[in-house]
Chains A and B, each alone.
Chain A
Amino acid sequence: MSEERTMNLTLKVWRQKNENEKGKFVTIQANGISSDMSFLEMLDVVNEDLTRKGEDPIYFDHDCREGICGMCSLHINGRPHGPKQGTTTCQLHMRSFHDGQTIVIEPWRAAAFPVIKDLAVDRTAFERIQQAGGYVSVNTGGVPDGNAIPIPKPSADEAFESATCIGCGACVAACKNASAMLFVSAKISQYALLPQGQAERYQRAQAMVEQMDREGFGACTVTKACEAECPVGIKLTNIARMNREYFNAKFFKEKTAHS
């Protein structure tokens, strides 16, 4: 690990009072930042400074700060979660930047993700997509035996990989079309691959895709930016699977029983 350095940075931060007011970039000086700080800790330092001066601190989303909750966002110098691959903003350290650098910090930009304030956006569109079908209905009864249902190892692994999606929205932020396909496809895949998900498999694909369209996310152009920027490495094969599931449901599956 490299030695701790202290650096002075120029931040260009998007400031916006609320959803309805127009925002603008504000230049803020961040001095005496340690290279060992995380990006969010750097913002904490800046915010303490702003508070002391009696100014409004920068509003941003964060929660676990361990890279697993998907709450932190931030579009840093043109990339979601900053310049490193496979990491969330809370796991991004200031050693990835150099002294005197200008850092542009913007919120996720998407019609479906309206700005709440400053850098925080409303990501409940993702929740509504999940609620449309991203679950397995479990009726009451005894707890089933852990290994009662055999699942092939490749399916279990693949489902697990899809299930690692933390729903941070970096895929939407990175996509030039603000498309949510990587997120939605991961959520469809994790159940499509498992026996527990079979009963609702085709309703799920239709309901989630339709909700995604209703929320106003863009279409996929296969630029693969989402895959490159995803902090947990969700694969593009998920999107192909979603397409398969959806077309299969729409073209070949019955909605109601034959009369």
Chain B
Amino acid sequence: MSSFNQALTSTLGKKLIMALTGLFLCAFLIVHLIGNLQLFKDDAGKAFNDYAYFMTHFTPIKAVSYLLYASIIIHALYALILTVYNRKARPIGYASFAGDKNSTWSSRNMGILGTVLLVFIATHMANFWWKFHNDEVPYIEYRTDLNTLETQVTELNASEFTDYQNFTQDGQEVTRARDLYKQVAYAFQNPILVAFYVLAMAAMSFHLIHGFNSAFQSLGFNHRKYIPIVRFLALWVFGIIIPIAFAAMPLYFFFCK
């Protein structure tokens, strides 16, 4: 076995894979959040629908998206492999185990939090990704008068829609797009789904506070000079700002739309 393979199959190497895929998923979240902030724009979803088209048709983004799917699968798979491995390391458990005295709940239950997130990702993709890619979303046409900048919105039938189009005609900018925005607005009228999304974001918060911090440890970075920055980012960016901003989306559509 080459030393590279040997390194990756060791307990340290398996954690390295968890750390790298985990950090990549963290980086993705930032991009995903910035894009999804278009949902809060009051423009009948034009900015969001344009963004959805861009993300699914721009080649470099598409390439990265395959890396993303792979990361999710590898992260979950290695979590499973490590869990089984770690269980084997203690075949007979303790009758009395005071884990709460020496560690946080989330650090001991990353598997539970991660499973919630995996179910969430499956639900999330079935709701939006699958529907968008299989033409199960409505279509829309935006006509913006280039002089007055007023926009007219018309819903299109499936027969009228061929593909995403953007052209200028008679002093009007015409955009025809798949209306993912409407699908989002529709999906978030379901209170159970909204509650699940909010719960999943709470799970994500705890998962990422521990995960983001621990990834650096697994990579071998832990020094008092820079670790406060990592702690700060883990708590404020990944533990508070990102989950709250994401949770605000279903709540916004449920209560305000």
A interface, over-half SS: mixed
Neighbour of B89 across the interface among A110, A225, A240, CB < 8 A: A110
B residues less than 8 Å from A222 (CB atoms):
107, 210, 213-214, 217-218
Among B94-102, B151-159, B189-197, the stretch that binds chain A is B94-102
B257 in contact (CB, < 8 A): no
User: A210 contacts B95, CB within 8 Å?
Assistant: no
Interface bits B136-177 vs A (CB < 8 Å: 1, else 0): 000000000000000000000000000000000000000000
A residues less than 8 Å from B14 (CB atoms):
219
A161 to chain B, nearest CB (A): 14
Interface bits B1-30 vs A (CB < 8 Å: 1, else 0): 001101100111111100000000000000
Neighbour of B102 across the interface among A178, A224, A244, CB < 8 A: A224
Docked CA distance A179–B216 (Å): 18
Among A37-45, A63-71, A133-141, A245-253, the stretch that binds chain B is A245-253
CB within 8 Å for A109 and B94 given contacts A79-B101, A174-B102, A221-B110: yes
User: B222 contacts A237, CB within 8 Å?
Assistant: yes
CB within 8 Å for A243 and B4 given contacts A77-B96, A216-B88: no
A202 to chain B, nearest CB (A): 11
Give the size of the chain A interface in residues (CB under 8 angstroms): 48
CB within 8 Å for A219 and B11 given contacts A106-B95, A109-B93, A224-B103: yes
Docked CA distance A210–B12 (Å): 10
B residues less than 8 Å from A75 (CB atoms):
94, 96
B179 to chain A, nearest CB (A): 44
Give the size of the chain B interface in residues (CB under 8 angstroms): 44
B91 in contact (CB, < 8 A): yes
Docked CA distance A172–B107 (Å): 16
Docked CA distance A240–B215 (Å): 10
User: B90 contacts A240, CB within 8 Å?
Assistant: no
Neighbour of B108 across the interface among A106, A218, A223, CB < 8 A: A223
Interface bits A225-259 vs B (CB < 8 Å: 1, else 0): 10011000000110111111111001100010000
Neighbour of A241 across the interface among B101, B104, B213, B220, CB < 8 A: B220
B residues less than 8 Å from A176 (CB atoms):
86, 90, 97, 99, 103, 108
Docked CA distance A217–B87 (Å): 10
User: A106 contacts B89, CB within 8 Å?
Assistant: no
Docked CA distance A177–B54 (Å): 44
A235 — nearest CB in chain B belongs to which residue? B222
CB within 8 Å for A104 and B95 given contacts A223-B103, A237-B222, A246-B12: yes
B34 to chain A, nearest CB (A): 29
Neighbour of B96 across the interface among A104, A174, A220, CB < 8 A: A104
Query: Which residues in window 182-201 of A have CB below 8 A to B?
Result: none
B249 to chain A, nearest CB (A): 31
Docked CA distance A247–B214 (Å): 16
Docked CA distance A242–B12 (Å): 9
A78 in contact (CB, < 8 A): yes
Docked CA distance A219–B110 (Å): 14
A26 in contact (CB, < 8 A): no
User: A179 contacts B15, CB within 8 Å?
Assistant: no
B211 to chain A, nearest CB (A): 9
CB within 8 Å for A228 and B96 given contacts A109-B90, A111-B88, A217-B89: no
Query: 7 A-B residue contacts at CB 8 Å?
Result: A78-B97, A111-B88, A111-B91, A213-B11, A219-B12, A228-B103, A229-B102
B residues whose Cβ falls under 8 Å from a Cβ of A: 3-4, 6-7, 10-16, 82, 85-86, 88-99, 101-104, 107-108, 110, 210, 213-214, 216-223
What 3 A-B pairs have minimum CB-CB distances, sorted nearest first? Answer: A78-B98, A244-B220, A240-B222
